[in-house]
Amino acid sequence: MSEAAAKTDHPLYQRVKDHIKDQIRAGVWAEGGRIPSESALMEAFQASRMTVNRAVRELSAEGWLNRIQGAGTFVAGQKLHSVLLEVRSIRAEILERGGRHTSQVRALDSVAAVPRLAKALELASNTQVFHSIILHLENDVPVQWEERYVNPAFAPNYLKQDFTRQTPYDYLTQQGPIEAAEHQVEALIPEEEVRKALHLEAGEPCLNLLRLTWSGGLVATRSHLLHPGSRYRFIGRQDYRSADRPGR
């Protein structure tokens, strides 16, 4: 009873989508293989082409299918090897779990960019760039060491800000919208200064999130976010049963 009821109270385009996904999951329509054309699906479901087209187009956008104009619609590769991990803002994370977020400004100055940094920011070597070190605490426990280099062309007034009241991230996103970002996660043993600030034992490892951000057509900032390896994790969860798939 619930079977038929569930079918009929879903919109038609959704039932077409579900059917196609079922066929793929069951292996009836194999990876790389061609699925029935829109006109065939129209016939099978007694639906109009617009309805079938919507179903197939949405599945294509969700990564289940690839469409080639003139040729047909094909089952996309599974891409199950790639996994998306969510990295949240430390401040949002703390506030969300009801914690109190505070921060200490450990440095806020201008430095000459070493060649490697200059290259990352797409500036000439030894150009002066802004530099800040902020220690983030959750209920007075240090959880993140944020070291950041900022392109002065992007945020000329960076050094005049009070970063105990607003995080550099929040300030920078006000200057201009993020256009692109690149992230790397690595494990490392922190330097002595960081180790002490994060209240780590000697030899305790850190999770380092390196982030490069583009805005206004230029590299806006490079940041290193160091977290105690024993007290901090990045966590992600995915559900392959639901409508969307990770890829694409």
Partner DNA sequence: CTAATCAAGTTGTATATACAAGTTCGCGAA
Partner DNA sequence: TTCGCGAACTTGTATATACAACTTGATTAG
Place of tokens 């209240």: 199
Collect all residues with Cβ–Cβ distance below 8 Å to 54 and sequence separation of at least 6: 13
Residue 72 binds which entry of a copy of itself, DNA, none, with Cβ cut-offs from 5 to 8 Å by kind?
DNA
Asked if 50 interacts with DNA (CB under 7 A), we say yes
Neighbours of 155 (CB within 10 A): 21
CA distance 227 to 199: 11
Q: Which of 57, 62, 40, 54 is nearest to 12 (CA)?
A: 54
Pairing of strands 180-188, 141-150: unpaired
Specify whether the CB–CB gap between 56 and 44 falls below 8 A.
no
Asked if 67 interacts with DNA (CB under 7 A), we say yes
Nearer to a copy of itself, 12 or 159 (CB): 12
- Per DSSP, 112 falls in state E
- Among residues 12, 87, 111, 153, the one that binds a copy of itself under rule CB under 8 A: 87
3-state SS class at 102: strand
Asked if 28 interacts with a copy of itself (CB under 8 A), we say no
The DSSP bridge partners found for residue 241 are: none
Name the segment binding a copy of itself (CB under 8 A); options: 28-36, 118-126, 151-159, 236-244: 236-244
Asked if 53 interacts with DNA (CB under 7 A), we say yes
- Among residues 28, 40, 44, 85, the one that binds a copy of itself under rule CB under 8 A: 85
CB of 14 to a copy of itself, least distance (A): 13
Asked if 181 interacts with a copy of itself (CB under 8 A), we say yes
Asked if 188 interacts with a copy of itself (CB under 8 A), we say yes
| 121-to-112, 115, 154, 170, 219 alpha-carbon distances in Å | 12, 10, 11, 20, 5
Residue 181 belongs to what H/E stretch?
strand 180-188
CB of 35 to DNA, least distance (A): 7
Site string for a copy of itself, 29-58 (x = CB under 8 A): ---------------------x-------x
- Please give the residue ranges that form the binding site for a copy of itself (CB under 8 A): 25, 50, 58, 61, 80-89, 91-92, 169, 173, 177-189, 203-207, 211, 227, 229-230, 232-241, 244, 248
